[in-house]
Amino acid sequence: FKRSPRPGYYVRFRWEGREHVRGAGPTKAGAERLLSKAHAKLCDGSDVARVLVEVFRDAGGPNLSFADARARYQEYAKARKRPGTLVADEQRLDVIAEEPWAKGPMHRIRREDVTAFVDRIKASGRRGTPCRPATANRYLSVISAVLQWGVREGMIPANVARGAERY
């Protein structure tokens, strides 16, 4: 049980080698009840993704798309980024959300998808003219930030954008 800087308690548990962290409510007793309930369901053989949805009310579950996750990520980012950065990120996320790979489940995104998108943005930009390397890197950074948030939320096992080549 951990009390974060944000209101409420969080539960951290490891199941089948993966760590999961979830918001568990305003009281420690409530967090203990949810953890106990999750543990019982997991020991009875329930799937981890199903337990996260049933016990912790994960809205997206394991099939949340990148395009759908962006709204939840933006809520998370509001407390951590400056307003100007949020506006720029929102514009980039609008472009990214139109990609075919962004419409499927986040856990199916491949590094090749991300790299091809960033290469295409660098070569032709949004309006058909090449963009600067820094702009392409900003798109990659936004993708990586959303994926890293997905890792922290337990939606995906790894951030496939991490380690992608920057310009």
Residue 6 has pLDDT above 70, yes or no: no
Name the most confidently modeled range: 38-52, 107-121, 142-156: 107-121
Q: What distance in Å separates the CA atoms of residue 98 and residue 75, rounded to the nearest whole number?
A: 20
- Tell me, what's the pLDDT at 152? 84
Which of the 8 DSSP states describes residue 154?
T
Write down the mean pLDDT value for the chain.
87
Of 7 and 104, the one with more pLDDT: 104
- Cβ–Cβ < 8 Å for 142, 96: yes
- State yes or no: pLDDT of 101 exceeds 90: yes
What is the token pair recorded at 130? 């090449």
Least confident of 7-11, 30-34, 38-42, 137-141: 7-11
Contact indicator for 62, 155 with CB cutoff of 8 Å:
yes
Model-wide pTM > 0.85: no
Q: pLDDT-derived band of residue 41, with 50, 70 and 90 as boundaries? A: very high
Bridge partners (DSSP) listed for residue 10: 2, 23
pLDDT for 7:
64
Highest-pLDDT range among 15-29, 48-62, 129-143 = 129-143
Q: How confident is the model at residue 37 (pLDDT cuts 50, 70, 90)?
A: very high
pLDDT tens-place string over residues 62-97:
578 898 889 889 999 999 999 999 999 999 999 999
pLDDT given for residue 17 in this prediction: 86
The mean pLDDT of 15-20, rounded to a whole number, is 84
